[in-house]
Amino acid sequence: MGKDKVLATVNNKDITEQDVHVFLNQLDPQTAGQFRTPEGINKIANELINQELLYLEALENELDKEEGFIAELEKIKMATLKQYAINKLFSNIVVSEEEVNNFYDENKQHFQKPESARASHILVDTKGKANRILDEIDNGLSFEEAASKYSNCPSKDKGGDLGEFQRGRMVPEFEEAAFSMDEDELSKPVKTQFGYHLIKLKHRKGPETSSLVEVRDQINNQLILMKQQERYLDRTEKLKKEYEVKTYF
């Protein structure tokens, strides 16, 4: 969308594609997506025309001089100034590499990854069918072919592969079986609320600590928030001594 193309003119005021782009960015993504078509752009342009007409009428009727408008404007100004002051208070807060490294070393227990596994499965309705599939696999049918041929789960399109999952992500019966198996082991039929599963474990990893590289951004953001809170509370406590504060709660 050309950002400088003029779509309409209202009383010598141009409404451009850039204006439409700005308006769309103010909407939530799902709603904005409904207007990212030629027809949608035209609807937004018409809405901007309508708003501009109402603005011109408001000026002509001197609504900007009414006490109600002036009061609302003051509220907006006050809220904006408060946020500006907070942003300025936080503007020069930085976190050093040393601080990140020290925080990681002192808090490794908070960066633990739970035990995880990667497995494939075949899901069928009955135990008998599961056992018959086991017999076919024992007689040479690959697990992936069996999954594609018999499984009721959408994972059949990937040979039954469920990807990697952590403890707590699967139903208890499935999880108990998967996390007690050896790598490349094929289970007997496992009953869950969904039916009977044949599970093949690809690999299992024990609990491990996330590396510093993995959590560096997380730590940096956490330290910035901690510093912001500390600075905010320190400044407001000092200001309470400069300005009169009365509380009624």
pLDDT, position 206: 85
* Cβ-Cβ contacts under 8 Å for 34 (sequence gap 6 or more): 40
| CATH number of the domain within which 199 lies | 3.10.50.40
Specify the number of domains making up the chain.
Answer: 3
User: Are 247 and 215 in the same domain?
Assistant: yes
pLDDT at 113 > cutoff 80? yes
User: Are 158 and 237 in the same domain?
Assistant: no
User: Are 238 and 167 in the same domain?
Assistant: no
Percent of the chain residues topping a pLDDT of 70: 99
pLDDT at 246 > cutoff 60? yes
Closest CA to 231 of 82, 90, 84, 88: 90
pLDDT at 2 > cutoff 70? no
pLDDT in tens, 126-165: 999 999 999 999 999 999 999 999 999 999 999 999 999 9
Q: Quick one: how far is CA 134 from the chain centroid?
A: 41
pLDDT, position 1: 45
Collapsed DSSP state (helix, strand, coil) of residue 110 = helix
pLDDT in tens, 169-223: 999 999 999 999 999 999 999 999 999 999 999 999 888 899 999 999 999 999 9
What is the residue range of 5's domain? Answer: 1-63
pLDDT, position 243: 96
Distances (CA, A) of 132 to 104, 119, 154, 189: 52, 21, 21, 10
- What does pTM read for this prediction? 0.62
CA gap 228, 219 in Å, rounded:
14
User: Are 124 and 200 in the same domain?
Assistant: yes
User: Are 59 and 21 in the same domain?
Assistant: yes
User: Are 131 and 159 in the same domain?
Assistant: yes
Place of tokens 């069996």: 146
User: Are 122 and 199 in the same domain?
Assistant: yes
pLDDT, position 4: 77
Average pLDDT, the chain: 95
* Cβ-Cβ contacts under 8 Å for 102 (sequence gap 6 or more): none
User: Are 131 and 192 in the same domain?
Assistant: yes
User: Are 94 and 175 in the same domain?
Assistant: no
User: Are 170 and 51 in the same domain?
Assistant: no
Domain-terminating residue out of 174, 191, 206 = 206
User: Are 108 and 221 in the same domain?
Assistant: yes
User: Are 134 and 183 in the same domain?
Assistant: yes
**Two structure tokens written together for 221:** 């953001």
pLDDT in tens, 16-50: 999 999 999 999 988 998 898 999 999 999 999 99
